[in-house]
Structure 1
């Protein structure tokens, strides 16, 4: 049910944001940005609201399991359930926030938004939770169910990861995905260099650590980056370290002609363009939607590489419409995928994706690879990457492509810092538990001469 409820503080804004994500399917990052612009909060309250929103989404199954023991199967209005879940999250996970503050403000929200009956019900549930405490999840005997509830992921994902990575690595992956996501910047070498950016950050009092996965990466530990001159001037951009590796592994040369087949919003397009020469090198970037093409162009302008980029509104499966065979030295297919590697940043997708979604995406990924195969020159490489860690979208897609295209061979993916260089597989899989970065997959498909 739609409401005209206007948030007046951090907890109320968190409630409205969570409703948008859970009930209306909004993307959490977009919902948070939109509401914080519409209802400005002090920095401390912004942090609290953001923490509650992402925390409830990350731990939703855990919180629902706990809540069920206190509502005796009672059917609740969605907003009331979300209010109770957010209070539970604060009780259990926010140790510095006093229980009385959570209780008082939650009851006040119930009173302001609901009616006396709802206020009374919320009061009773919250007092019961504080009085009785929460059930011990370790008492859940069935392993898959326990891991599902403890880590707030669907059972199908627990089973799939266990089958692919084994029990020990699966538990490490699941524990890692509910840790806070790092904010990472990539230095735009078309405009500046790493030492200069570090000097500017030091002067601004912004704290950072050296990236351990990708070159020209810094992990921001304290300070505001989006409003900095470095970001506004296009000297840096926001990009996870794992995502940087796809382009890094392509070993772009200044004179290369490159196709970025699934480009929006353009983070990897501009990363490619940074290394290209204005006179000789060029990258053509594709996206199926015109408004996303404009986003690619906007990012290219901000980073000062617009002369090296041409963006097209085109489905990558229709590349024959624009390009001749053997037009490109290198092609990047950063394919549409389930996004399971991004659960830290987009926690809500774990509740909406299914194993069947992954299988359907495999078909789309293979169709894109098949379409672009003829467009790379002999001796050139197609880099196929995803932000998932599920085999059917990664190695299975690569093997299906190779079975249809014997003119290609799978060669070892290498990066500047030789990430996981002692692995046995030629493909590179970064698990969320490896470096506390996003989960990512990269493969390198070389066309025979």
Structure 2
């Protein structure tokens, strides 16, 4: 029995969660490693994935429900076992409560001593008798939003300050919805019609993105095992992220700098829009292993002939390039990544407001460095995958204050996304389209 419990989906989910929560491992990397080393069926792998991401997404909610049943903090793995059991009780309707309880007790017996097994048994039976306590017991609205959305209170306060309470509620209500997989059609070698046809041949059903012109949203099937993906006709990219390059309005004959390029999704998107005879992308990353990753991705997507990759800190572009070298520049800047919470749920527990403030300085230093490298009349697209204004609008405004040779243009996308907005910059909230949170500012050099 011990052997079957050790290799069971729930025990593997517990191992993964304990490493993410206790050791700071990245959820996607740790989960991939766990699943690759297992002999689970496809259904069991999906079950492990559901539990891991579900517990990470709902951690503060689950802790709120657990707290009345424990008097002192148990060992980390014991607490995680209880949290994942409560998650299954509350969110997985098709999983019987008895099955959750039975296997949790077996895992406790396998990993711990008789006292731990008895403790786990008692807590879970008590929870099932009493049920989850009501959120309405929380009087403070900030704390209530924090618990219901499983977002730290500082993050809730920041969102309310920057977007208002009504918009924050929409974000809280949407942020833990499952992230969908979106694909970008690689227009360097195919078009949407052919890509959709080839995906369908491998049982992958998609719909056309309402956000990005070259985007497809997967509704059924495993796109990553399709021939279309293997042959580079499509690549994984979030709908919001596609808008940064889309808003560059490339004509095909430009020389473009991608200042923060890894892993190369936007680099390949730029390259796909260029003529290999007259256009070129110069892609930078500070790390050698990421440079190799960019090069690998360019080969898979068939655009290596128009991409040059350099191991270079974007703040040191002066070491490599003359002034006024580029027609257009993309600065997809390092950021707090808060817009990715739906896809990377654990980052919400690791970030602080101070992190965001320090990133603002790094973003400015990159913009300052690349600014002279743009030709007059050219544009810099500044983008981030966060929704914090101190990393977005405030970075753009401070750059403009320090660089009178630049002005702010209105960001325009192919599908005229949020065209009724008052601001020239474009912010996509996670609650807008079910895609990642994202920001784009368009800066033109005028002298």
TM-score range for the pair, normalised by the shorter chain length: over 0.9
Q: CA deviation at 1:199?
A: 1.3
CA–CA separation in structure 2 for the residues paired with 1:13 and 1:414? 46
What CA deviation, in whole Å up to 9, does each residue of 1:399-432 have, x standing for no partner? 0000000000000000001101111100000000
Residue pairs, 1:3-402, within 5 angstroms: 7-72=6-71, 74-402=72-400
Q: Deviations over 1:75-117 (max 9, x none)?
A: 3111000000000100001111110111111111111111111
For 1:97 and 1:88, locate their aligned partners in 2 and report how far apart those are by CA, in whole Å: 12
Q: Could you list the per-position Cα deviations for residues 36-59 of structure 1 after superposition, in whole angstroms to 9, with x for gaps in the alignment?
A: 111131111111100000000000
Q: In structure 1, how many angstroms separate the alpha carbons of the residues matched to 2:416 and 2:361?
A: 31
Query: Matches of 2:206 and 2:114 in 1, distance apart?
Result: 49
Alpha-carbon distance, 1:228 to partner: 1.1
In 2, Cα distance between equivalents of 1:264 and 1:24: 25
Query: For the Cα contact (< 8 Å) 1:326–1:374, is it kept in 2?
Result: yes
User: Which runs of no fewer than 5 residues in structure 1 stay unpaired?
Assistant: none
Shift of 1:6: 9.2
Distance apart, 1:7 and its partner CA = 4.4
Contact 1:7 1:39 in 2 (8 A): no
**1:426 maps to 2:417:** no
What secondary structure, in the 3-state scheme, does the structure 2 residue paired with 1:391 have?
coil
Unmatched tracts of structure 2, length 5 or more: none
Q: Distance in 2 between matches of 1:240 and 1:442?
A: 14
Q: Which moved more, 1:382-391 or 1:105-114?
A: 105-114
Cα deviation, 1:351-400, whole Å, max 9, x if unaligned, reads 00000100000000000000000001000000000000000000000000
Mean CA deviation greater in 115-124 or 408-417:
115-124
* Deviations 1:19-48 (CA, angstroms, capped at 9, x unpaired): 111111111111111111111311111111
Secondary structure (helix, strand or coil) at the match of 1:181 reads coil
Q: Secondary structure at the match of 2:323?
A: coil
Describe how 1:405-444 pairs up with structure 2 within 5 A: 405-444=403-442
Contact 2:199 2:223 in 1 (8 A): no
For the residues of structure 2 that align with 1:422 and 1:380, how far apart are their CA atoms? Answer: 26
Asked if the contact 2:5–2:107 (Cα under 8 Å) also holds between the matched residues in 1, the reply is no
Structure 1 residue 204, shift from structure 2 partner: 2.3
CA–CA separation in structure 2 for the residues paired with 1:350 and 1:48 = 23
- C-alpha root-mean-square deviation of aligned residues, in Å? 1.2
Distance 1:280 1:38 in 2: 46
Offset of 1:205 from its aligned partner?
2.2
CA contact (8 A) 2:5 2:106 kept: no
TM-score (norm 1): 0.98
Structure 1 residues 400 and 138, CA gap change in structure 2 (3 angstroms): same
Listed one character per residue, the Cα deviations across residues 220-260 of structure 1 (whole Å, up to 9, x for unaligned) are: 01111111111111110000100000000001121110000
CA distance in 1, matches of 2:252, 2:93: 52
* Contact kept? 2:411, 2:440, Cα under 8 Å: yes
- The 8 Å contact of residues 7 and 16 in structure 1, kept in 2 or not, is answered as no
What's the TM-score, normalizing by structure 2? 0.98
Would the alpha carbon gap of residues 264 and 6 (structure 1) be closer, same or farther in structure 2, given more than 3 Å must change? farther
